[in-house]
Structure 1
Amino acid sequence: MRAAVLHGAGDVRIETVPDPSAPGPGEVVLEVLRAGICGSDAAEFSRGPVVTPLQTPNPRSGHHGPVILGHEFVGRVVEVGSGVTGLQVGRRVVPGAGVWCGSCAWCLQGRPNLCERYFTLGLQADGGMAEFVAAPARICVEVPAELTDDSAAMTQPFGVALHALDRARLTADDTVWINGAGGIGGFLVAGAAARGCGTIIASDVSDERLDLARQLGATHVLNATAGDVAAAVTEITGGGAHVAVEASGAPGTLGTVITATRRGGRVLLVGLPKQPPTVDTADIALRELDVIGTVAHVCDRNIPQALDILTTTPSLQAAADRVIALDHLVDDGLLPLCEGRVTGKVLVDISR
């Protein structure tokens, strides 16, 4: 089969690799229909290995060496292993991509994304940027018939955004500011809109991304190059946002986000900066701000939620920037994403 294989920084090859072996107990083999490119894929391509096991074996997955990318994808079940119930050959499914053990303390607390043996298909094991992929059946959720392949391929990153909003305890009564309207930021806007928030502010340095944020549900958009964003957010919200989200990962922005969070508010950390930021912890303490981290998603909860919203909200199709051929993954996908020339989600048609 053809697959996009990461060999190192700047080295992703579309090459022929063996098909997955027959599914083991509890596994399925999927024919991949669409895959999405994530910022983490771009990071591995531009400066990897970051989390991929190219040089040393991953202790959780056991994988070592070049890895097939792709943790955002939709596929059709073509083989079912023993013990699998509820998934039939021919049905489309979205895998959550993260694999958890189910027995450690975090799994038993209902937090499988923090599992001590957690790993992700497409990062620490072969993923879905290929014609076929093997996956545990328990991480796969069936796709509604009316949802397109393009929309279904955006389920996993949307689930990550919904988990982040869960962590922030976002309610319809909250005002929310999302700093950084690219990739995950756009899904955070859409998630806040789906939860009925009346004031959703998006800020970015790109007018194109801000236009997309408005389409996805932002009530206010602010170009960060045009003035004091924190002052504008404070004015719009009448004293600061209840929930302020740092989704850009840009240097120096976390302090700005904290500044425009109201007393007793929540600061959600989504964007991952390349360098540790410096923040005023005294200000955080004296205004009783909650600073909240988030990672991945809770598959059984957030993937079905994402599928439901994608199915009932046609406007979310705007989150897809383009669909490219697998053969053009580097030139039309990874490089533009690394260079900031992408507005929404880039999807890959594996058949081309």
Structure 2
Amino acid sequence: MLAAVYHGQRDVRVQEWPDPPPPAAGEIQLRVLQASICGTDVDEFTSGPHLIPLTTAHPASGHAGPLVLGHEMVGRVVAVGAEVTGFTTGDVVVPGSGVSCGTCRWCRAGRTNLCAAYYTVGLHVDGGLAERVNVPARISRSIGDCPADAAIMAQPLAVALHAVRGTGAEPGTKVAVIGLGGIGSLVVAACTARGIETIGVDVSAARLKVAERSGCSLLIDASRQDAVTAIRRATGGDGADIIIETSGVPQGLETAMKAVSRGGHIRLVGLHRDPSPLNLTRLVLDEIRMSTSKVHICDQDLPEALALLTEHPQITATSLDAVIGLEDVVPAGLMRMAAGAAAGKVVVKP
């Protein structure tokens, strides 16, 4: 089969790759209908490997060496392994990205995204930027009444919903979203669907346009104006009650620290590779809460994402930048996203 295979930094090859074996017990095999490229994939491409186990076997998945990228996908079931219930050939499903053991103390507490043996499809084992892929049935959900073209946003939307849920945001809360890429724009869409107004901050005019279409009530172009001043002006001088930081760059965290209100909440979603200084004194004296958000909890966030996309399928169209073929993953996908030229999600149709 044809697949987009990660071999190292700036080295992703669309090549012939072995078909996945028949699904093992508890697995289903999907013919991939659509997959999309995540910012994490771009990060691995431009400066990795950070998460991909090229030389040493991953402790949970056991994989080492080149692997097929892709942890956001929609597929049709073409084979079912032993001990699988609830799925049959022909079903269209969305898998969650993270695989958890189900038995460790974090899994027993419902925090499967913190599983002691956690690994990610498309980062620690072959993923969905290919014609076929095997995934655990327990992390997969039928798309139900959700249109297949809309369901491609279910996994990243689940990430956004997990981030928003952890803030306790409600209508009337002053929320700012810093970084309006793939996840940031979906955070805006998730807030909009819940009746929560947002302030969006980015340096890209194209991404700001996507956030506007997603329902953002105030847009701040940080390349043209001081974002801290603009956020404080928009909130009567108090600052935002909640700031969701998805950019993963030091400037984003610095803006969040200066623009959050007393007693406010900063939620970190973006992965910060570079050192980021924190004003711990202000955190203490103004009782500012800082929390982090990792991926999603499959049982909770993925069904909610599919329900939201069923009710609001326009979220996908709003968040979409381009649909490309698998052969164009590097030039029209990874490289274009790395250059900041993509305004939303890039979807791949194998």
Report the 3-state secondary structure (helix = DSSP H, G, I; strand = E; otherwise coil) of the residue aligned with 1:263.
strand
Structure 2 residue 62 is the aligned partner of structure 1 residue 62: yes
How far the C-alpha of 1:253 sits from its partner, in A, is 2.6
Distance 2:288 2:108 in 1: 29
Query: What does residue 163 of structure 1 align with?
Result: 162
How far the C-alpha of 1:146 sits from its partner, in A, is 4.5
Distance 2:259 2:47 in 1: 33
Distance 1:19 1:271 in 2: 33
Q: Which amino acid aligns with 1:12?
A: V
Q: Which amino acid aligns with 2:347?
A: L
Query: What does residue 266 of structure 2 align with?
Result: 267
Alpha carbons 1:122, 1:128 under 8 Å: kept: yes
Among 222, 244, 248, the residue aligned to 2:220: 222
Match runs of 1:1-352 below 5 Å: 1-149=1-149, 151-197=150-196, 199-238=197-236, 239-316=238-315, 317-350=317-350
Alpha carbons 1:35, 1:349 under 8 Å: kept: yes
Question: Percent identity over the alignment?
Answer: 45
Q: Which amino acid aligns with 1:294?
A: S
In structure 2, list runs of 5 or more residues that go unmatched: none
How far the C-alpha of 1:52 sits from its partner, in A, is 0.3
1:249-294 Cα deviation digits (max 9, x unpaired) = 2223312212211111110111222212012110011110100111
How far the C-alpha of 1:116 sits from its partner, in A, is 0.5
Alpha carbons 1:75, 1:94 under 8 Å: kept: yes
How far the C-alpha of 1:348 sits from its partner, in A, is 0.3
Distance 1:166 1:17 in 2: 39
1:114-135 Cα deviation digits (max 9, x unpaired) = 0010000000000011111111
Report the 3-state secondary structure (helix = DSSP H, G, I; strand = E; otherwise coil) of the residue aligned with 1:103.
coil
Alpha carbons 2:207, 2:343 under 8 Å: kept: yes
Of stretches 339-348 and 314-323 in structure 1, the one that deviates more from structure 2 is 314-323
Distance 1:119 1:272 in 2: 17
Report the 3-state secondary structure (helix = DSSP H, G, I; strand = E; otherwise coil) of the residue aligned with 1:54.
coil
1:233-257 Cα deviation digits (max 9, x unpaired) = 1121221111111211222331221
Distance 1:43 1:159 in 2: 20
Report the 3-state secondary structure (helix = DSSP H, G, I; strand = E; otherwise coil) of the residue aligned with 1:297.
coil
Of stretches 227-236 and 53-62 in structure 1, the one that deviates more from structure 2 is 227-236
Alpha carbons 1:202, 1:220 under 8 Å: kept: yes
Q: Which amino acid aligns with 1:233?
A: I
Distance 1:163 1:171 in 2: 14
Q: Which amino acid aligns with 2:306?
A: L
1:55-110 Cα deviation digits (max 9, x unpaired) = 11101100010010000000000111121111121010000021000011110111
Report the 3-state secondary structure (helix = DSSP H, G, I; strand = E; otherwise coil) of the residue aligned with 1:168.
coil
How far the C-alpha of 1:161 sits from its partner, in A, is 0.8
Distance 1:282 1:20 in 2: 53
Distance 2:255 2:331 in 1: 35
How far the C-alpha of 1:314 sits from its partner, in A, is 3.1
Q: Which amino acid aligns with 2:330?
A: V
Distance 2:123 2:284 in 1: 37
Alpha carbons 1:215, 1:315 under 8 Å: kept: no
* TM-score, length basis structure 1: 0.96
Report the 3-state secondary structure (helix = DSSP H, G, I; strand = E; otherwise coil) of the residue aligned with 1:252.
helix
Runs of 4+ in 1 over 3 A off after TM superposition: none
Distance 2:88 2:97 in 1: 19
Report the 3-state secondary structure (helix = DSSP H, G, I; strand = E; otherwise coil) of the residue aligned with 1:272.
coil
CA-atom RMSD, angstroms?
1.1
1:270-321 Cα deviation digits (max 9, x unpaired) = 1222212012110011110100111110001111111111121133112010
1:312-349 Cα deviation digits (max 9, x unpaired) = 11331120100001011101101011111110000001
Distance 1:55 1:192 in 2: 41
Report the 3-state secondary structure (helix = DSSP H, G, I; strand = E; otherwise coil) of the residue aligned with 2:102.
coil
Alpha carbons 1:248, 1:271 under 8 Å: kept: yes
**CA distance 1:346–1:26, change in 2 (3 Å):** same
Alpha carbons 2:249, 2:274 under 8 Å: kept: no
In structure 1, list runs of 5 or more residues that go unmatched: none
Q: Which amino acid aligns with 1:129?
A: L
Alpha carbons 1:68, 1:126 under 8 Å: kept: yes
How far the C-alpha of 1:49 sits from its partner, in A, is 1.1
Alpha carbons 1:255, 1:280 under 8 Å: kept: no
* TM-score, length basis structure 2: 0.97
